[in-house]
Amino acid sequence: MTHLVTRTQLARVTQLSHRPKPLFFTPKPTLYRSQTLSLPQLSTLSSATFRRRTHPLLRPTMDPQPPEPSAPAASAEDFVHVTDLKMESLSESMVRIDEPSEADAAPSAPDSDRRPATLSPELSRNVLVLSCESAAEGGVCDVYLVGTAHVSEESSREVQAIVNFLKPQVVFLELCSSRVAVLTLQNLKVPTMGEMVTMLKKKHNMFEVLYGWFLAKIASKLEVFPGSEFRVAYEEAIKYGGRVILGDRPVQITLRRTWSKMPLWHKTKLLYSLLFQAVFLPSSDDLNKMLKEMDDSDMLTLVIQEMSKEFPTLMETLVHERDQYMSSTLLKVASENSSVVAVVGKGHLQGIKKHWKQPVVMKDLMTVPSPKPAVSATRIVTSIGVAVAGVAIISGIYLSCKK
């Protein structure tokens, strides 16, 4: 499914070449070649081609496709896309988006004797400033780490104002290549029972399918679509020729690591919890009212923190590991540029700062642990319980979809 870009020019997506220092996981250099794709083509890959095992960015550039007459509804698989893709390195997951032609030659031109720009108190209240050595002119990169609430008009306005004021060489987003459709998403289609069964047949685990359905249900009730701050940052950057980099860990790896590290009983309880919360969501008015009261908070991280009291794995894989991952990718980007604005959830600010310039073993963060086979009476009884819970979950989803 092609997602239309609202601008006449097509964005260009170029895979980054990554040659990290020995403290990072070093990919095989012979595998990575620079490829160029239009943003609509990458969005198409997000919802179709990404399901194949071969990484689409390693394939030859595709022929341009004619635009569709209107922007189609996106499915939950685009909102939180899960693929059969097997990522093995940082180089395979980082994606650069920028404008063609003169924009490449004219990002913001830094002076060699420049000083870090000073933001107004209103704009700096959710910003951390980091720095590192850089191969770019001046020898130092200033990194403005902007914390957002994800579902907040105020956060979107702040991000737009900061990018417009600083005009950094690079805008770094808490997205991965599987979620690039967020940059052009217009509306959202909650998946039907049949579509979720199809995903299960394609060997997605129950957590991946139910998690995507749960977030789609929430997003369909919101006035502000999640990820709007990423779209305004992207749109603001391409106005002046800045580059946009998607630097988060691939969502499919994050979800599969979460699932594989959970004990069987926790998996059962989590699925039930997601189903229960999705079926009994507050009304649209109540939900939006709650969000406005929490306008200055990263709601998603707060939810994860609360659920982690019962499921400790969630905080580890959904927050802490991604803090390390994004700190590493951001440092890599900063070491090659003179100014970067990074747009991430507020819940990631302190974690990224904590791991800044610290050794990170990327291979450990990119590997999905294999489940350990074990046969015991306890496991058999638990499996029966999971089967019963599964029937209840499917029945609940069906009843919810009928509403």
Burial of 175 (0-12, 13-18, 19+ CB in 10 A): buried
Q: Is 141 helix (H, G, I), strand (E, B) or coil?
A: strand
Q: Rounded distance, CA 364 to CA 366, Å?
A: 6
The reported pLDDT for the residue numbered 279 is 74
Could you give the angle at the alpha carbon of 89 between the alpha carbons of 3 and 14, nearest 5°?
Answer: 40
Q: Where are the domains of the chain?
A: 102-107+119-371+394-402
**How far apart, in whole angstroms, are the C-alpha atoms of residue 140 and residue 116?**
10
Please list the ranges in the chain whose pLDDT falls under 70: 1-116, 185-188, 203, 222-224, 287-288, 291-299, 371-403
Neighbours of 226 (CB within 10 A): 20
3-state secondary structure at position 140: strand
pLDDT at position 289 is 72
Strand 339-345 relative to strand 127-133: parallel, antiparallel, unpaired?
unpaired
> Please, what is the average pLDDT of the chain?
71
Joined together, the tokens standing for residue 5 give 């870009």
Could you tell me which of 85, 159, 88 has the C-alpha nearest to residue 122?
Answer: 159
Q: Token pair for residue 101?
A: 């032609």
In percent, the amount of the chain with pLDDT more than 70 equals 58
DSSP for 280-299, please give it.
TPPPHHHHHHHHHHTTTS-H
- Residue 298 confidence (pLDDT): 64
Which pLDDT does position 18 carry in this prediction? Answer: 39
pTM of the model: 0.68
Q: How far is residue 329's CA from residue 94's CA, in Å, rounded to a whole number? A: 8
